[in-house]
């Protein structure tokens, strides 16, 4: 927080102003005390205040000054008492603002809010009071109200740098990245070459998928603050996002040199090694992460993916269950109270819920396990997202196919996420269900619709028609490694 507000409009404090004589000039005596305080001569300032209050114990400016002096001396309760007396005698916005600042520093946030609110009622055009109010709302965990307050500061003063930065941060947290970027642009204009501003602008550009621009900013932030392990790590993230994992590795190393054991940099390095198919190094790094952080489920999950790619299914399927302990992954566990099933208990005669927990592609891939449940005597209810329901509803062995939006779910005894079925059936390379055509034939009406659409485009061409998929979910964090531009397939056409 800023230092308590003092009177404005004064030039530099003189070396030691003379103390006025007589009893009629109390304002001048208080003014002398203020100059003493500003010059660091706190005892002289205190003497001036005592002389004023000996004559008039209700002199509001002096009571206020005593509050400032007590606060400076660390006598916080006494400071609040003096400030309260000043306000009782003359509720000036300046007094209320300084009271709010003192309360804020003592973490009495609700009381500080009331003080700033009262000050603003008396002086609604004061941008600094509004900024203090915004800071208090942040401390109270009211980010939406704080954002509105900082936005009002910018209306009063469009070039208020702190309000612009805090607005940018709050908008970024709300995932309003375009608006956040505009505020960080303003901050950069008002305070060029500021590392934190450049870093936040880069992060906003990353979220807007403008990685090349963001890389310029994050490297500029590094040039200004080369000792920041966090910024070095983020340079690596931008390079990895651009598919330049080999270039990212030295940046992660630099980050770890600055901050050994930096978990995020270790995790990002493991991710890059996985992409580069340097699997042994990736697994070694995952073990190193667990040494620093035994409960790090991201490292377990990362290792599971390597195990699956390299054919070690026993470890891969088991460790992949760590995903449930990782916040932020695009998975859904439904929060079911019924028992989960991972292959141990008999299921003959049980009603069994299988639900889509990850993406549509995973659900289509692992739907092949559903008939295996039926073969064990289970009655299977399948819960999937609306786009997949028409495709999977007619699968053999499914008693009922419901939309995930259905509430409440039909009654069931046990449940299993669809991507955990390979673990439940102890899948190994030689036991992957390999039957062809496990998906049902589409409804006749859909076939006819597509026949009509294709005939309209292709005429009566009787050649084999093959559908190609080149793009997945564009919002997936790893979409740049999962999707390709359609033009890359152009060489396959026209042959």
Where along the chain do its domains lie? 351-431, 444-492
Kindly report, residue by residue over 25-67, the tens digit of the pLDDT.
Answer: 899 999 999 999 999 999 999 999 999 999 999 999 999 999 9
DSSP string across 267-317: HHHHHHHHHTT-HHHHHHHHHHHHHH-TT-HHHHHHHHHHHHHTT-HHHHH
Does the pLDDT at position 124 exceed 80? yes
CA 33 to CA 19: how far, in whole Å? 9
Kindly report, residue by residue over 205-249, the tens digit of the pLDDT.
Answer: 999 999 999 999 999 999 999 999 999 999 999 999 999 999 999
Instruction: Please give the share of the chain, as a percent, with pLDDT higher than 70.
Output: 95
pLDDT at 18: 53
* Token digits of residue 182: 């505009």
For domain 351-431, the CATH architecture is 3-Layer(aba) Sandwich (3.40)
Task: Using alpha carbons, list the distances in angstroms from residue 111 to 1, 107, 116, 493.
Answer: 16, 9, 9, 71
pLDDT at 469: 84
pLDDT at 23: 45
**Which is higher by pLDDT, 334 or 68?**
68
């Amino acid at each position: 927080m800023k230092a308590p507000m003092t009177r404005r409009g004064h030039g530099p404090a003189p070396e030691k102003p003379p103390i006025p004589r007589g009893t009629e000039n109390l304002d001048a005596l208080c003014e002398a005390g203020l100059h003493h305080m500003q010059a660091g001569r706190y005892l002289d300032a205190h003497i001036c205040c005592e002389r004023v209050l000996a004559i008039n114990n209700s002199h509001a400016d002096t009571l206020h000054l005593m509050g400032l002096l007590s606060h400076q001396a660390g006598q916080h309760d006494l400071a609040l008492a003096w400030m309260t007396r000043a306000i009782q005698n003359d509720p000036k916005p300046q007094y209320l603002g300084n009271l709010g600042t003192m309360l804020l520093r003592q973490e009495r946030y609700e009381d500080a809010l009331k003080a700033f609110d009262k000050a603003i009622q008396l002086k609604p055009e004061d941008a600094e009071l509004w900024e203090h109010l915004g800071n208090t709302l942040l401390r109270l965990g009211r980010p939406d109200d704080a954002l509105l307050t900082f936005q009002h500061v910018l209306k009063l003063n469009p070039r208020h740098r702190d309000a612009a930065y805090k607005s940018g941060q709050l908008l970024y947290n709300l995932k309003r990245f375009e608006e956040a970027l505009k505020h960080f642009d303003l901050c950069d204009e008002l305070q060029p070459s500021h590392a934190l501003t450049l870093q936040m602008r880069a992060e906003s550009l990353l979220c807007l998928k403008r990685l090349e621009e963001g890389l310029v900013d994050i490297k500029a932030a590094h040039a200004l603050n080369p000792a920041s392990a966090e910024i070095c790590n983020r340079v690596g993230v931008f390079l990895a996002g651009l598919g330049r994992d080999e270039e990212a590795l030295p940046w992660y190393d630099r980050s770890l040199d600055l901050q050994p054991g930096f978990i995020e940099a270790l995790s990002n390095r493991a991710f890059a090694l996985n992409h580069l198919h340097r699997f042994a190094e990736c697994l070694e790094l995952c073990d190193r992460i667990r040494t620093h952080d035994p409960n790090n489920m991201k490292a377990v999950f990362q290792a599971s993916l390597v195990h699956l790619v390299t054919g070690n299914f026993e470890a891969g399927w088991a460790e992949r269950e760590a995903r449930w302990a990782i916040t932020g992954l695009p998975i859904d566990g439904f929060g079911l109270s019924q028992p989960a099933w991972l292959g141990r208990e008999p299921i003959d005669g049980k009603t069994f819920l299988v639900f889509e927990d990850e993406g549509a592609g995973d659900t289509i891939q692992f739907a092949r396990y559903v008939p295996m449940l039926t073969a064990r005597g289970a009655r299977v209810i399948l819960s999937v997202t609306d786009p997949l329901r028409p495709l999977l509803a007619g699968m053999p062995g499914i008693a009922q196919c419901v939309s995930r939006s259905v509430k409440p779910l039909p009654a069931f005894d046990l449940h299993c996420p669809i991507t955990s079925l390979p673990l439940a059936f102890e899948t190994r390379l030689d036991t992957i269900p390999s039957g062809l055509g496990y998906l049902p034939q589409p409804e006749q009406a859909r076939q006819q619709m597509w026949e009509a659409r294709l005939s309209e485009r292709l005429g009566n061409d009787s050649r084999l028609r093959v559908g190609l998929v080149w793009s997945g979910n564009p919002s997936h964090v790893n979409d740049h490694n999962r999707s390709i531009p359609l033009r890359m397939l152009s060489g396959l056409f026209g042959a």
